[in-house]
Amino acid sequence: MSNISSVDIFICDLPTVRPHKLAMTTITSQAIVVGVIKDNDGLTGISEVATIGGASYGESTVEAIKANIDNYITPHLIGQNPVYFSRIMDTVAKSVRGNFFAKSLIETALIDLAAKQREVPAYELFGGKIHDSLPLAWTLASGDTKRDIEEAKEMLHQKRHNIFKLKIGSGDPDTNVRHVGEIIKAVGDESRITVDINQAWDEYTALKQIKALEEMGVSMIEQPLPTWNYEGMARLTERFDVSILADEAATSLHDTYRIIKERAGDAIALKPAKHGGILETKKIAGIAEAAGFGLYGGTMIESTLGNAIAASVYSTISEFKFGTEIFGPLLYKDKLTLEDIEVKDFEIQIPDDVGFGVTLDQEKLAHYKR
């Protein structure tokens, strides 16, 4: 098999169809990073990671991802055989600390290239597909109750989504919880409702508001407290019946082990980018399953390329108690691949083509790259 000849990293900015409001920022344009790894025969492995709100969500900015790959990771790749992606990433892990998003971008491009060299779907290289489709949630994050209800009803009518997540970390907690209640009254009989706090509450606020949310019938509370507050998350998990999900706190394998050990939640949100790639995501899913934790297939709001990667890895994991939310492409005005995602009967369909099943649109890449 042919060895790696070049590694190119591009930063792109894609506009969204509507503002997407989170606790720390409102997204109207999403910054994403595209990786392109070529071999000596001209085959190309492609990948994507997305970040949310620059440095307001996490430490990995798109600028840092590109700079650290160019300077510190690429030298470990040139001349290597991509089929040994596990060994390559082990070498990278020993030489580069942290940088999970950068490592994920490189690992997934290596896997895509290795799969294309063998002309097989990428999921055959990391366990094989279990699911042909997965339940797909939608985030109602316009910030307006009436608009969110109309949006939810339209999604139900189209059979696109019957799981809805509400972002309620920004603004007055009492008002936000009433907002959730109105949406449950409107569509709760036809759907499942979860909420995401994005670390915005202190423990006092969480105690009051989770009680109200639990009584309303919310099925899951995502990351109510800051990532450092393991003890507070454990107290909330012990106190309430509603599931407490760790997202931003569950980054590395070691973070997740600590959450499980201390019961600082009872469910984990998976995201290949935040874990450092597919191999680490599979490890985290395994220890969460062993501990009886529920799994949620999370998103960094990737476009079609990153979304296909997440769909492929999630298709190899046995159970998602809370479904997935890999809806990212549906939030964008445009895409960077020739293919689009397919949603049918409330579920996203898993691509079966070679690699991750998508082809980079070179004209769109040239248009949106910085």
Residues 6+ apart with CB under 8 A from 150: none
User: 38: which 2 tokens?
Assistant: 């070529």
Is residue 148 classed as helix, strand or coil in its secondary structure?
A: helix
Q: Using CA atoms, how far apart are residues 69 and 54, in angstroms rounded to an integer?
A: 18
SS3 content of the chain, % helix, strand, coil (to 5): 40, 20, 35
- Angle, nearest 10°, between helix axes 304-314 and 278-290? 40
Helix, strand, or coil (residue 189): coil
Among 116, 165, 167, 274, which one carries the catalytic annotation?
167
Encoded tokens for 31: 């910054």
Cα-based distances in Å from 49 to 168, 194, 282, 306, 360: 25, 25, 17, 6, 14
What's the token pair of residue 77? 């790749």
Contact 65, 31 (CB under 8 A): no
Name the strand (E) or helix (H) holding 192: strand 192-196
Closest CA to 356 of 186, 18, 156, 104: 104
Task: Let me know: does 205 contact 23? Beta carbons within 8 Å.
Answer: no
| Ramachandran assignment for 177, one of left (phi > 0), alpha (psi -120 to 50 degrees), beta (any other) | alpha
Query: Is 94 in the active site?
Result: no
Q: Which residue has the tokens 């949100």?
A: 269
Query: Rounded to an integer, what distance in angstroms lies between the CA atom of residue 4 and that of residue 188?
Result: 51
Catalytic (active-site) positions = 167
